[in-house]
Structures are given as C-alpha cells and as structure tokens.
Amino acid sequence: MTNRIPRVLATTGVALALAAVPGVAQATPAPAAGTTPITIAAAPCPNPFWGLFCTRPYLATPFGPVSQATQLSGDGRARAGKYSPITGEFAPSTGWLRIIRQELYDLQAARATDGQIGRVTGYAQLSSPLGPAVWATQFQSGRGRWGVYNFATNLFYPEGNGAWSRLTN
C-alpha cells in the first residue's frame, strides 16, 4: 500500500470502490438458517487519519459503537487498538509490531480457547511475542467479541472474560 492511497481516500471519501485498493477486501457470508447475514469489511475507519483500518460491524459498548482497529505506521509496522466512530479517536492496545502480511483476515470457522466457534475477522498479521497474530473480532449469531487470533496455535484468544456484545452500525 502506498502513502497516496489513504490521502486519496480522505479527499474523495470512503465510498470509493475499496475493492480496487490492494489489501482491502469485503466479504459477505451466506447466512445460516434463521440468522441475519453479517457483512464483514476492512476499510479505512470513518474520520480517518493515515493507515487506520477498522473491521465492521462495530460492537455495542456503554460508550457507543467501537471497532477493533489496526493502525499502519508506513514503515512496515502496525499496532492494534480500538476505534470510536463517534469521537474519531483511536486508542492503541499494543506497541508497534512488525507486519507479516497486510490484508484482511476472514476466517469462517475459528475455534476460541473457550471452545466457541465463530467467524473471525481482522486486518494485518503482526509479529507478536507469542507468534504471528491478528487482532480481530469473533462473530457468532448476531454478537461479537474482541481478541487475538494466533496463527501458531490456530486459536482465537478472547479479551478479558470473553463476554459477547451485540453488533451495531
């Protein structure tokens, strides 16, 4: 990804055809019987500053909608954190880590450490002290939770107590 892409997105609007931007993808799964389909997208966050990618839908929190997000540094590093579309602020939860692969990760049936299986999506595989990982959101039946998917163990590690939150736009 070049430095020009975020500037073009910022000046022309995020409604640009994001599928044409390298490293940005969208996927819409076929809904399971009796469920509402979830549209997963990794795109520049609303009110973007350079290199911030959010996964959607957002999770509902007491502070409003919040997304797991990845901020790219421009020098081959990134950091994970949370993004609020209401305030436009990004709160990092990691330091800067080396990027292994810069792309959307959309794992259809990922197992978590608590045995739950759900769709996991996040942006950019990073080199963490515990192996290659993507900070992501796990989705299941109209709800979601944040955590880390570790490619060495092939498991999703939910944050905190692993509680689920409802989805919101």
The contacts of residue 127 (CB under 8 Å, 6+ apart) are 97, 98, 99, 100
Alpha-helix residue ranges (DSSP H) falling in 19-102: none
User: What percentage of the chain carries pLDDT values higher than 90?
Assistant: 66
Distance CA 94, CA 146 (A): 14
Mean pLDDT value across residues 31-59 = 68
- Provide the residue type at 38 as one letter: I
CB 86 within 8 A of CB 61: no
Q: pLDDT digits over 63-100, tens only?
A: 999 999 999 998 999 999 999 999 989 999 999 999 99
User: Residue 83: left if φ>0, alpha if ψ -120 to 50, beta else—which one?
Assistant: beta
pLDDT computed for residue 45 by the predictor:
74
CB 118 within 8 A of CB 112: yes
In this prediction, residue 29 has a pLDDT band, given cuts at 50, 70 and 90, of very low
